[in-house]
Amino acid sequence: MSFILDYYNYWVVVFLMMAGFYIVISANNLVKKIVGLNIFQTSVFMLYISMGKVSGGTAPIVVEGVTQYSNPLPHVLILTAIVVGVATTAVGLALIVRIKRAYGTVEENEFDNKDDVI
């Protein structure tokens, strides 16, 4: 039982990661691929934050009488990664908008032979 309690967090994170991965490689629509990429990304964030957690600790903000804090370092890394993540997502979506303008579709299987037209 303690074995499961020690690891369930990582397992769910792996499941979410694989769900995002599956969407990225199997989805036909490019916007859905971006959603899958974001799910993958968020699960990686969750892995980092899980590693920073200390049982019985509190949020890393100094309070009188508290000695046990969770690790602030993963929080810093992930905080900036989230903002950078949305910025890169925006670049990806902008590329999709341009693809729609150039090819008239964002479905992967409809791109075939479109290169000759452009």
Q: Binding of another protein at residue 45 (CB under 8 A)? A: yes
Lookup: tokens for 37: 């990429």
Q: Binding of another protein at residue 113 (CB under 8 A)? A: no
Lookup: tokens for 79: 């905080």
Q: How many residues bind another protein (CB under 8 A)?
A: 84
Least separation in angstroms between CB 34 and another protein: 7
- The residues, ordered by sequence, that sit 6+ positions from 69 with a Cβ below 8 Å of its Cβ are 54, 57, 58, 59, 60
Least separation in angstroms between CB 117 and another protein: 18
Q: For the residues of 75-94, what is the DSSP string, one character each?
A: HHHHHHHHHHHHHHHHHHHH
Q: Binding of another protein at residue 108 (CB under 8 A)? A: yes
Footprint of another protein on 46-105 (CB under 8 A): 46, 49-63, 68-76, 78-91, 93-98, 100
